[in-house]
Amino acid sequence: MPRRYDPERRQRIIDAAIRVVGRRGIAGLSHRTVAAEADVPLGSTTYHFASLDELLVAALRQANEGFGAAVRDSRALADPDADLATELARLMGEWLSGERTGVELEYELYLAALRRPALRPVAAEWTDSVAEILARRTDPVTARALIALMDGVCLQVLLTDAPYDAEYARDVLARVIG
């Protein structure tokens, strides 16, 4: 029997891994659970991703696109006359007001790098790319401090189920910006 050409299979596997992690957490991720979710043979997952870490790297890269893309696409961040703190607070508000599961998933994958060294370069890529954009408006040290602060604010909102307070976020971001 000839092999079925399926150019979208790798992407379907990544999407399935993200759904599995979203429902079951990283502990629930296996080649078997992903294959079932993607409706592909088990061998397809191991063909495209030899290890779960490889699959998690691909999932983290895709998940990181959410906030990173918003930062990259923001015209206000590129405008030297726009208020940087206001724009960052607005972007965080939009991101946190979206589908909460997606935001939680991004952080779960991002924080998985603490225990899975293979994920660290991907987490660093995200931080570096956002820092590079923010450094155009500030400086490299302030850019990294802003990222740390935004992560802290977002994690507090996620962990406490508190509503996002855009005014508070803008105020603390402005303090770091100076």
Domains (ranges, CATH) in the chain? 9-60 (1.10.10.60), 64-177 (1.10.357.10)
Give the predicted TM-score (pTM) of the model. 0.81
Residue 162 token pair: 């508190």
Q: List all residues 6 or more positions away from 78 whose beta carbon is below 8 Å from its beta carbon.
A: 136
- The answer to whether the beta carbons of residues 69 and 91 sit under 8 Å apart is no
Which of the residue ranges 22-26, 82-86, 162-166, 167-171 would you say has the lowest mean pLDDT? 22-26
How far apart CA 59 and CA 108 sit, in angstroms, is 11
**The token pair that represents 70 in the structure block:** 């918003």
Tokens of 16: 């399935």
Q: Which of 101, 25, 102 is nearest to 67 (CA)?
A: 102
Q: What is the pLDDT of residue 7?
A: 77
Measured at the CA of 71, the angle between CA 10 and CA 26, to 5 degrees, comes to 40
- Residues 95-136 have pLDDT tens digits of 898 777 778 888 887 888 888 898 889 888 888 989 999 999
